[in-house]
Amino acid sequence: MGGGTRHGTGPGEIAPDGSAVEFYAAMPPDEAAASLVHGVLPAGAPILELGAGAGRVTGPLIALGHPVTAVDDSSAMLARIEGARTVCSPIQDLRLPERFACVLMMSYLVNYGDRKALLDACRRHVAPDGLVVVQREERGWFDAAAPREWSHDGIDFRLRDVSRPGPDLVAATIEYRMDGRTWSHSFVSRHLGDEELPGVLGESGLRFERFLDEGGGWVVARPA
């Protein structure tokens, strides 16, 4: 789905970033995320989805009337997507000829990967009057990160081996259990606070506009 320091285990193919293809393909569509993005776009606005994975949000966006170009560095993930143009490429290397009304980058990639290279890719592909929507870890997540277990949509989650290898870093492993199968995904997440956002976006030629949610997890930016 994207770059960064991550590693995964479990049945089936594992994408380059550690994401388990079979797990993400089996997860239900994320209608809520698609509706949130749809709500800030003109009807039928074309979307470039960076780190699309197996299409949990791609499908609902298409159903809402948006043509989607789905980008991922896993061909196995992209093979699970229907109805969208797909491009297999690392995000930071992507150079498409067209520009999009919306560039969408979710899955907390801005916390995991080379944020400058990722945001540069967003800026390269957004139309002059378009917008960039980025999902980051919500406010308070870094301070609160600790081992825990929870369940939803028939999936059992377990966050374990939580550590802080640096002042702005959280390392952890998350386990997913579903239908008798277990996957794990280890990652290192880098904090991106409210006070940093304008400067981080500005380095890539983007201007912070607003948050879409109270927790600050969804960020809207425009070309500077």
Q: How confident is the model at residue 113 (pLDDT cuts 50, 70, 90)?
A: confident
pLDDT for the residue 167: 92
CB 108 within 8 Å of CB 218: no
Domains along the chain with CATH numbers = 6-139+192-223 (3.40.50.150), 141-189 (2.20.130)
How far is 90 from 41, CA to CA, in rounded Å?
26
Average pLDDT of the segment spanning 25-40: 96
Give pLDDT tens digits for 151-183: 998 999 999 999 999 999 999 999 999 999 999
How far is 74 from 17, CA to CA, in rounded Å?
9
- Phi, psi at residue 122, to the nearest 5°? -60, -45
Average pLDDT of the segment spanning 133-150: 97
How far is 94 from 206, CA to CA, in rounded Å?
18
pLDDT for the residue 4: 46
Q: How confident is the model at residue 5 (pLDDT cuts 50, 70, 90)?
A: low
Q: How confident is the model at residue 18 (pLDDT cuts 50, 70, 90)?
A: very high
Q: What percent of the chain has pLDDT over 90?
A: 96
Q: What angle do CA 50, 54, 59 make, to 5 degrees?
A: 85
The set of residues, in sequence order, having a beta carbon less than 8 Å from that of 212 and lying 6+ positions away, is: 36, 39, 40, 133, 218, 219, 220
Q: How confident is the model at residue 3 (pLDDT cuts 50, 70, 90)?
A: very low
Q: Is the pLDDT of residue 57 over 60?
A: yes
Q: What is the pTM of this model?
A: 0.95
151, β-bridge pairs: 156
Average pLDDT of the segment spanning 180-202: 97
